[in-house]
Amino acid sequence: MSKNLTKRAEDYSKWYNELVVKADLAENSGVRGCMVIKPYGYAIWEKMQAELDRMFKETGHSNAYFPLFVPKSMFEAEEKNAEGFAKECAIVTHYRLKNDETRPGKLMVDPNAKLEEELIVRPTSEAIIWSTYKNWVQSYRDLPLLINQWANVVRWEMRTRLFLRTAEFLWQEGHTAHATKAEAIEESEKMMQVYADFVENFMAIPVIKGLKTESERFAGAEETYCIEALMQDGKALQAGTSHFLGQNFAKAFDVKFASKEGKLEHVWGTSWGVSTRLMGALVMTHSDDNGLVLPPNLAPIQVVIVPIFKTEEQFEAIKALVDSLTTSLKQLNVTVKFDTRDTLSPGFKFNEWELKGVPVRIAIGPKDLENGTFEVARRDNLTKEVIPSEGAAAYISELLAKIQNDLFGKALSFRNEHITEVNSFEEFKEVLENKTGFISAHWDGTPETEEKIKDLTKATIRCIPLDRKLEEGTCIFSGGKSVGRVLFAKAY
Amino acid sequence: MSKNLTKRAEDYSKWYNELVVKADLAENSGVRGCMVIKPYGYAIWEKMQAELDRMFKETGHSNAYFPLFVPKSMFEAEEKNAEGFAKECAIVTHYRLKNDETRPGKLMVDPNAKLEEELIVRPTSEAIIWSTYKNWVQSYRDLPLLINQWANVVRWEMRTRLFLRTAEFLWQEGHTAHATKAEAIEESEKMMQVYADFVENFMAIPVIKGLKTESERFAGAEETYCIEALMQDGKALQAGTSHFLGQNFAKAFDVKFASKEGKLEHVWGTSWGVSTRLMGALVMTHSDDNGLVLPPNLAPIQVVIVPIFKTEEQFEAIKALVDSLTTSLKQLNVTVKFDTRDTLSPGFKFNEWELKGVPVRIAIGPKDLENGTFEVARRDNLTKEVIPSEGAAAYISELLAKIQNDLFGKALSFRNEHITEVNSFEEFKEVLENKTGFISAHWDGTPETEEKIKDLTKATIRCIPLDRKLEEGTCIFSGGKSVGRVLFAKAY
């Protein structure tokens, strides 16, 4: 197959849009801003879900399910929450269609079936969940509540892009309630760490852990922890957030508990989420001009085997070898596909699996039959080697681990090369125009300066790194006092 | 804990509603007709999902995800589909809230943000999926398409009951496309069989496989296969359906393929689904006046261990025994909970785990320490026995298998005792008033008779059993000719 993929250097954005569709990850649907996640893309998301779900359960969380709809009045209850999200939402106002008498075969909204109170399709579930928690919490014995939900949410975005920004997307949202402030903060930090571990170890994407500034914080949160990743085009992508909600939602929805001492107190909350947006980060971190590059831990197919033959006899001999190799690989938990489609050439298949990012491709031809060898090609660095068929399974299994590692190492080097310290606004603008990436700079801590820099450069403060050095400095923009550097970048 | 549960004989419906809430399965939410599935209930649903998902994949299906919204015009495309579902739906008409200037702190729907075309929250996804398949299918090589989706759907039901009938519910919907009619029929039958295997082997609920009559068929289907179960109150419950769609959706959405011979033909379709309604079937098949009874295969906790002690020393000795037992049980893949809550009495705990349907309860007290024994109680038949601690894990593991088996056997006996053959309408009404259950009777095959019987008795034809004997007979209502018996019942 011919790929016809735009080169990244030509037009990164076009490359991304084309790749997501051509690699069968997702496509736009007939519904404005909503995507179809295709089976190959969904298989990757399922692997992400399975691992995250395992990690959530290991840290004591249970799954539950809350309604898709939020009555308008619940939104109003938490004022800041309403400010942050309630503006661009899908709103259900009616509950019945009827035949349009004037146009045969057509349906119309029944004007007599108007809801008394409009329902918002959840853009996030704090309101509906905290209105439920009110009945679940009476005493300190009911705490902590450690609950997660896998769900679809809708935010009426005007400009959408597959995975990165869609009207409907899939995510998980954790919502926890605690007896003390310290415990809730510990939970927010723990879940940020879970996200960092997952994104680094499974997605092979290095992240920087930090705090959002007040203006980038989730409305309704006291503190937002985040992990920030860097894409190949030098733009940052927020890969996950974990919010310490203080007592904001507990107060808005009157969630109180009797403490051990018998005092009635408001509980402390957190919420945290990652979404199908991570699929976009995955594509933009590792893939290249030949197509997708998938880390072995998330690849639905880890090894593809392509037979090269002229006679039926040769095919049978190859098949016998492949059957034995496949059995050994499966014992090592490696997912293998033997591509026996008979209407396609090996060259076409090579291209297709390259486009789809399968980490390891094995080709077996007549020469290999003679020599007792396989040809092994790595998708990540496009190198090939010939290995003895004896002991091949163990070799491939180790190779997959090595590829996972190498992908992370490569992304880490790139990220580290793209963090630039600057000490003046001139330098700041220069970096933004040339090298891009994260810019580490002193900032006076005011939303006003942040806003002005954003207006002038489109760069925002991605985070205040948790591990930053505390040092006196001078804000690159205002010249005001700073207590340490923050990271700026243009972002998705 | 005191259960305060209504007895089934008193008011079956009330018993069900109370039990679902008290056993922590689900509760009503602040949103009309929408439920909250609580962690304990959701854990059962997750077990059902995991097993079904495994079965779908084993039969060659992949998961994908399609939009929540369906534009009104797509609904109109398949006329019969629109007739069947489009009437009572949640309809999105606007996409923005704004501050209500006249009422500080309140939000209102922005009248300027009206959608050009209304969006229906999917009541089922045939329309959106077939409009997508149009672009996925060109040649016979693209077929079959074997796709499943796990999703939430919304049907604006006026009278709702937890799990059994809710405005929003969770389900899976398979949507497949095939090159031939025979292959599509084979698929519909295969998936009905997958459902039957799952419901019988995992949920321990016996089912009757059959065909729906024309009037009970899914609008837009040529044939609807179903599995029908019988609840303890003698009412039937449709546990799953699999539809052979013929070329109806392919024609409505213009989905054609080039056959091997180069002819352009419409594809053949199927769809099939089961939902959180199965949770209702689970409760109503096995549970009793003491609470939930869960089949071991679906129990989030299979074994609960309650320590009975007075001194710290006794507790430590019990704990040592429990640790060793737990390790052995986990090796046998048994899920165990050691209930060490120190503010609750053993009696309270016994009641709570009984209410929650944990299949096996083990109690260990000072006497057991002396004698090297455990007290083992079965939830299903409420029997107790004392067993030697030596070899207990293997014994319990086998006991769980036995309980699973016994539950199915008990439900099967009940079901079989509640299938009554009748040969007159008088007998028919008599059975409905007394014994209830399935009624096997001759029917003339007309929708008119079916409708009249329904109007007079509220009983409907649940299915035409696939294994029915073909025999000449006389319709109990009209006296017309019949070719075999069908099953009537009142149904959920």
B212-246 pLDDT, tens per residue?
Answer: 999 999 988 999 999 999 999 999 999 999 999 99
Residue B83: predicted pLDDT = 67
Q: Is B4 exposed, middle or buried (0-12, 13-18, 19+ CB in 10 A)?
A: exposed
Q: Which residues pair with B65 in a beta bridge?
A: A37
Q: Are strands A360-364 and A303-307 parallel, antiparallel or unpaired?
A: parallel
Which chain A residues are Cβ-neighbours of B131 within 8 angstroms? 30
Q: Both B147 and B229 in a single domain?
A: yes
pLDDT over 90 (residue A76): no
- CA–CA distance, B42 with A61 (Å, rounded to integer): 12
Residue B185's pLDDT band (cuts 50, 70, 90)? very high
Of the residues B254, B286, B318, which one is the last residue of a structural domain? B286
Structure-model confidence comparison of residues B487 and B3, the more confident one:
B487
Residue B80 above 80 pLDDT?
no
CB contact under 8 A, B105 and A79: yes
Spacing of C-alpha A192 from chain mean position: 13
- Which of A107, A147, A168 faces B75 most closely, judged by CB atoms? A107
Nearest to B87 among A42, A45, A97 (CB): A97
Provide the shortest C-alpha distance from residue B42 to chain A (in Å): 5
Bridge partners (DSSP) listed for residue A438 = A419
pLDDT of A52 above 80: yes
Closest Cα of chain B to A15: distance in Å? 22
Residues on chain A touching B121 (C-beta within 8 angstroms): 68, 92, 121
| A363 sits in which H/E element | strand A360-364
Report the percentage of chain A scoring pLDDT > 90.
93
pLDDT at B82: 60
The residue of chain A nearest to residue B74, with distances taken between CA atoms, is: A30
Within 8 A of A70 by CB-CB distance, chain B residues are 31
Using CA atoms, how far apart are residues B167 and A92, in angstroms rounded to an integer?
Answer: 13
Phi, then psi, of A437 in degrees rounded to 5? 90, -165
- For B126, list phi and psi in degrees, rounded to 5: -50, -50
Residue of B107, B140, B253, B301 to mutate when probing chain A, most A C-beta within 10 A? B107
In this structure, are A30 and A159 located in the same domain? Answer: yes
For residues A84 and A111, state if they share a domain: yes
User: In chain B, what residues touch A128 (CB-CB under 8 Å)?
Assistant: 29-31
Q: For chain B, what's the residue count?
A: 492
10 Å Cβ neighbour count for B480? Answer: 14
Residues of chain A in contact with residue B112, where contact means CB-CB under 8 angstroms, are: none
Given an 8 Å threshold on Cβ–Cβ distance, is A72 in contact with B97? yes
Residue A232 three-state SS: coil
Q: Which residue of B has its CA nearest to A108?
A: B72
Q: Is residue B174 part of a domain?
A: yes
Interface A–B counts its CB contacts (< 8 A) at 181
Q: Do A93 and B109 touch (CB under 8 A)?
A: yes
Whether residues A200 and A279 fall in one domain: yes
- Nearest residue on chain A to B103, alpha-carbon basis: A76
CB-count burial class (<10 Å; 0-12, 13-18, 19+) for B299: buried
Question: How much is the pLDDT for B243?
Answer: 98
CA B402 to chain centre: 23
Dig out the tokens for B403 from the structure: 């309980």
pLDDT cut 70: percent of chain B above it: 98
Instruction: List the single best residue of A21, A35, A36 to mutate versus B (max B Cβ within 10 A).
Output: A36
Q: Which residue of B has its CA nearest to A86?
A: B97
pLDDT digits (tens, 9 = 90+) for A188-230: 999 999 999 999 999 999 999 999 999 999 988 999 999 999 9
Query: Are residue A228 and residue A374 in the same domain, yes or no?
Result: no
The average pLDDT across A145-173 equals 96
User: d(Cα B356, Cα B360) in Å, to the nearest integer?
Assistant: 11
Q: Which two tokens stand for residue B131?
A: 């409009």
What mean pLDDT comes out for the span A154-177? 96
> Is the CB of B93 less than 8 angstroms away from the CB of A94?
yes
* Closest A-chain CA to B104: A76
**3-class secondary structure, A233:** coil
Tell me: do B17 and B150 sit in the same domain: yes
Backbone angles phi, psi at A274, to 5 degrees: -135, 155
Hey, are the CB atoms on A64 and B82 less than 8 Å from each other? Answer: no
Q: Got the DSSP string for A162-231?
A: TTTB-SEEEEEEEEEEESSHHHHHHHHHHHHHHHHHHHHHTS----EEEE--GGGSPTT-SEEEEEEEE-
In a domain, B196, yes or no: yes
Nearest to A37 among B64, B135, B170 (CB): B64
Whether residue B366 sits in one domain with residue B334: yes
| A220 CA to centre of own chain | 22
Specify whether the CB–CB gap between A179 and A257 falls below 8 A. Answer: yes
Side-chain-facing half-sphere of B348: CA atoms under 13 Å: 8
Closest residue of chain A to B341, computed from CA coordinates: A141
Q: Average the pLDDT over A128-134 and give the result.
A: 97
Q: Residues of A with CB below 8 A from B97's CB?
A: 72, 75, 82, 86-87, 89, 91, 120
Number of domains in chain A: 3
Read off the tokens for B126. 């045939």
Using alpha carbons, select from B285, B276, B149 the residue that is nearest to residue B206. B285
CATH of the domain at A189: 3.30.930.10
Tokens of B457: 């008795």
Q: What pLDDT band is residue A86 in, cutting at 50, 70 and 90?
A: low
Q: Which CATH number fits the domain that encloses residue B333?
A: 3.40.50.800
State which of B364, B399, B434 marks the end of a domain: B399
pLDDT digits (tens, 9 = 90+) for B431-479: 999 888 999 999 999 999 999 999 999 999 999 999 999 999 999 999 9
Q: Is residue B236 part of a domain?
A: yes
Q: Which of B398, B422, B245 is nearest to B334 (CA)?
A: B398
Q: Which domain holds residue A425?
A: 419-489
The stretch A428-446 carries a mean pLDDT of: 95
Cα B362–chain centre separation: 30
The CATH code of the domain that includes A467 is 3.30.110.30
Inter-chain contact B119–A90, Cβ cutoff 8 Å? yes
Mark whether A321 and A255 lie in a shared domain.
no
- Say how far apart CA B169 and CA B425 lie, in whole Å: 37
pLDDT at A78: 76
Indicate yes or no: CB of A343 within 8 angstroms of CB of B141. Answer: yes
Query: Per the CB < 8 Å rule, is B69 touching A168?
Result: yes
Q: Is residue B3 part of a domain?
A: no
Tell whether B101 is covered by a domain. no
Q: For residue B167, give the chain A residue with the closest CA.
A: A67
B91 neighbors A92 (Cβ within 8 angstroms): yes
Q: Are residues B319 and B458 in the same domain?
A: no
* Of B35, B42, B109, Cβ closest to residue A118: B109
Position B158 confidence tier, pLDDT thresholds 50, 70, 90: confident
Is residue B466, in this structure, part of any structural domain at all?
yes
Give me the pLDDT at residue B85, please: 64
Pick from A36, A63, A95: which is nearest to B39 by CB? Answer: A63
Give the separation between CA B462 and CA B238, rounded to whole angstroms.
8
Residue of B nearest to A104 (CA): B76
Question: Using CA atoms, how far apart are residues B369 and B371, in angstroms rounded to an integer?
Answer: 6
pLDDT in tens, B10-41: 999 999 999 999 999 999 999 999 999 999 99
Query: Cβ separation of A69 and B43 shorter than 8 Å?
Result: no
- Contact between chains at B62 and A39 (C-beta distance less than 8 A): yes
Q: Give CA–CA dist B471/B469, Å, rounded.
A: 6
Q: Report the distance separating Cα A323 and Cα A400, nearest Å.
A: 20
Rg of chain B in Å (alpha carbons): 26
- Same domain flag for A124 and A245: yes
Which residues fall within 8 angstroms of residue A438, CB to CB, at 6 or more apart?
A208, A228, A230, A236, A415, A418, A419, A420, A462, A487, A488, A489
Using the beta-carbon criterion (under 8 Å), do A91 and B93 form an inter-chain contact?
yes
- Judge whether A4 lies within some domain: no
Same domain, B179 and B49: yes
Give pLDDT, residue A77.
Answer: 84
In a domain, A291, yes or no: no
Element (H, E) at A61: none
Average pLDDT, chain A: 96
How far, CA to CA in Å, does A237 sit from each of A231, A429, A462, B251, B425?
Answer: 7, 20, 9, 43, 70
Domain boundary among A286, A312, A335: A286
Question: Both A142 and A238 in a single domain?
Answer: yes
- As a whole number, mean pLDDT of residues B102-127 equals 93
Of A30, A36, A132, the CB nearest to B29: A132
With a CB cutoff of 8 Å and minimum separation 6, the contacts of A137 are A143, A145, A177, A255, A256, A257, A267
